[in-house]
């Protein structure tokens, strides 16, 4: 089936990789792919036509680090420092969660993301089979893992956990590649060396992505050095053979110059989590240094317990402001670069080279941003407007692989009323 999006302002990607803002053009989607971008006169005929006047069409946002089911813990423990926050607010509630809760929470998270323009998300949480099912049935793209954990330093590899990590990658396949299973190491501090090395060894055959938290807090970074003869988390993970182009590392707040050089050499991607790092006062990730070293950087919301929403437009906005202010340099990081981090670079981090850009031949992961509200006019510079002025609530259409999943407040693949009812029941139970 062909769908034509007419009369919109299109944030297309040119041959050189730069954005081109096209007005008065049409974008035609054929099945899952973008077939045509150009003047209406030359556009192929379509089965469905949608008028996008007053809408900006841009690539869907890629939330490159998230723990979706944490919507069940939205905002709890606000104001506590990280360790206390985890021990007194988060863990006691997480201990109560059953697989059905994760399913309900993930569905609620997907609704929030679709309504604010996310077309692809990286998920790391317990009961990944439930997350997988929700992503698959909703139609959103996502990477899913079994959280890699092996708590004690001296513990043998916990065989069950290791096997679950591997079997998720082997057994969970989506013929359309909308949902991809991958490997995970929660972090250096929650895995032992044997476990990390076993995952590295297994991945030399599996070639899956590896999702890992790195140097989120100063304490984590320093304790790793004390445990491993001065090696930082990146240095240690490199020694264990886990770093390569399939690895993407969330946070990277305390990474050093040497760490950044290793990440560049090994083609490791980083994920910037501006709101979460600010809320937990974890510090400021050296994003500018990473970009200068050609490290691929995506953007993520992290879980809602430390954000407290899944609105990627806020991350674009805050991320851009932070990077400029850390260096007291307003010329750093233009809006185009920020949008790329939240789209094509995030897609690359998640091992998805066929999306993240509005370009012929790419997957049709497209969102429409309304320009109706006062804060969206005048529109002198579209990338600037999207980065500094647009809100998640301006999104009026979210399309994944050519299929519209959300349009003008309506979900096409999710029963929103039922989801709200289940969410309410679930919250009442876990906080009783
Ligand atoms: Zn995280």
Work out the average pLDDT over 345-372.
98
Distance 144 CA to ligand 1 centre (A): 13
Picking from 87, 84, 90, 61, the residue whose alpha carbon sits closest to that of residue 308 is: 90
What pLDDT digit, counting tens, does each position of 228-281 carry?
999 999 999 999 999 999 999 999 999 999 999 999 999 999 999 999 999 989
On the CB side of 92, CA atoms within 13 Å amount to: 9
Distance 343 CA to ligand 1 centre (A): 19
Do 133 and 140 meet the contact criterion of CB atoms below 8 Å apart? no
pLDDT at residue 40 in the model: 96
Distance 359 CA to ligand 1 centre (A): 31
Using the structure block, give the residue that is written with the tokens 């030359």. 42
Distance 407 CA to ligand 1 centre (A): 29
Distance 67 CA to ligand 1 centre (A): 6
Give yes or no for residue 407 having a pLDDT over 70: yes
Q: DSSP character for 43? A: P
Work out the average pLDDT over 24-36.
97
Work out the average pLDDT over 353-376.
98
Give yes or no for residue 331 having a pLDDT over 60: yes
Residues with Cβ–ion distance below 5 A, ligand 1: 302
Sheet holding 33-39, edge to edge: 33-39, 25-30, 2-6, 48-51
Can you give the residue ranges of every domain in the chain? 2-59+363-411, 61-349
Distance 417 CA to ligand 1 centre (A): 29
Distance 329 CA to ligand 1 centre (A): 29
- Name the class of domain 61-349: alpha beta
pLDDT at residue 153 in the model: 56
Picking from 140, 132, 137, 203, the residue whose alpha carbon sits closest to that of residue 171 is: 132
- The C-alpha angle 136, 243, 256, rounded to 5 degrees, equals 115
Distance 65 CA to ligand 1 centre (A): 6
Picking from 308, 315, 311, the residue whose alpha carbon sits closest to that of residue 89 is: 308
- 2-59+363-411: which CATH topology? Urease, subunit C; domain 1 (2.30.40)
DSSP SS3 for 254? coil
Distance 188 CA to ligand 1 centre (A): 13
| Burial tier of 258 (Cβ tally within 10 Å: 0-12, 13-18, 19+) | exposed
Distance 108 CA to ligand 1 centre (A): 18
pTM attached to this predicted model: 0.97
Give yes or no for residue 48 having a pLDDT over 80: yes
Distance 395 CA to ligand 1 centre (A): 25
Work out the average pLDDT over 204-214.
97
């Amino acid at each position: 089936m062909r769908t034509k999006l007419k009369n919109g302002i299109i944030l297309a990607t040119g041959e050189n990789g730069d954005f081109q803002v096209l007005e008065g053009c049409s974008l035609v989607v054929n099945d899952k792919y973008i077939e045509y971008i150009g003047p209406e006169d030359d556009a192929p005929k379509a089965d469905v036509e949608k008028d996008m006047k007053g809408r900006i069409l841009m690539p869907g946002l890629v939330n490159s680090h998230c723990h979706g089911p944490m919507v069940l813990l939205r905002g709890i423990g606000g104001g506590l420092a990280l360790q206390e926050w985890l021990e007194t607010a988060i863990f006691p509630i997480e201990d109560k969660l059953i697989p059905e809760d994760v399913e309900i929470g993930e569905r609620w998270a997907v609704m929030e993301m679709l309504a604010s323009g996310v077309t692809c998300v990286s998920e790391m949480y317990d009961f990944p089979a439930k997350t997988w099912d929700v992503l698959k049935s909703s139609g959103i793209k996502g990477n899913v893992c079994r959280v890699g954990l092996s708590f004690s330093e001296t513990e043998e590899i916990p065989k069950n956990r290791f096997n679950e990590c591997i079997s998720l990658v082997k057994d969970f396949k989506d013929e359309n590649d909308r949902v991809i299973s991958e490997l995970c190491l929660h972090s250096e501090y929650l895995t032992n060396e044997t476990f990390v090395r076993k995952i590295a060894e297994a991945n030399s055959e599996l070639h899956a992505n590896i999702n890992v938290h790195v140097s989120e807090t100063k304490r984590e970074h320093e304790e790793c050095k004390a445990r491993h003869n001065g090696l930082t988390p990146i240095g240690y993970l490199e020694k264990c053979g886990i770093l390569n182009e399939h690895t993407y590392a969330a946070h990277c707040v305390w990474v050093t110059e040497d760490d950044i050089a290793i990440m560049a050499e090994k083609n490791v991607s980083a994920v910037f989590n501006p709101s979460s790092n600010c809320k937990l006062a974890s510090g400021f990730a050296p994003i500018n240094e990473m970009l200068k070293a050609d490290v691929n950087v995506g953007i993520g919301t992290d879980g809602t317990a430390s954000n407290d929403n899944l609105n990627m437009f806020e991350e674009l906005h805050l991320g851009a402001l932070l990077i400029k202010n850390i260096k007291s340099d307003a010329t750093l990081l233009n809006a185009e670069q920020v949008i790329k981090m939240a789209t094509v670079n995030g897609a690359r981090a998640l091992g998805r080279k066929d999306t993240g850009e509005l370009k012929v031949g790419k997957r049709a992961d497209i969102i429409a941003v309304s320009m109706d509200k006062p804060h969206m006019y005048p529109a002198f510079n579209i990338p600037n407007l999207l980065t500094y002025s647009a809100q998640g609530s301006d999104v009026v259409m979210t399309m994944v692989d050519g299929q519209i999943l959300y349009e003008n407040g309506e979900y096409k693949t999710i029963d929103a009323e039922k989801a709200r009812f289940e969410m309410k029941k679930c919250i009442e139970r876990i906080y009783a």
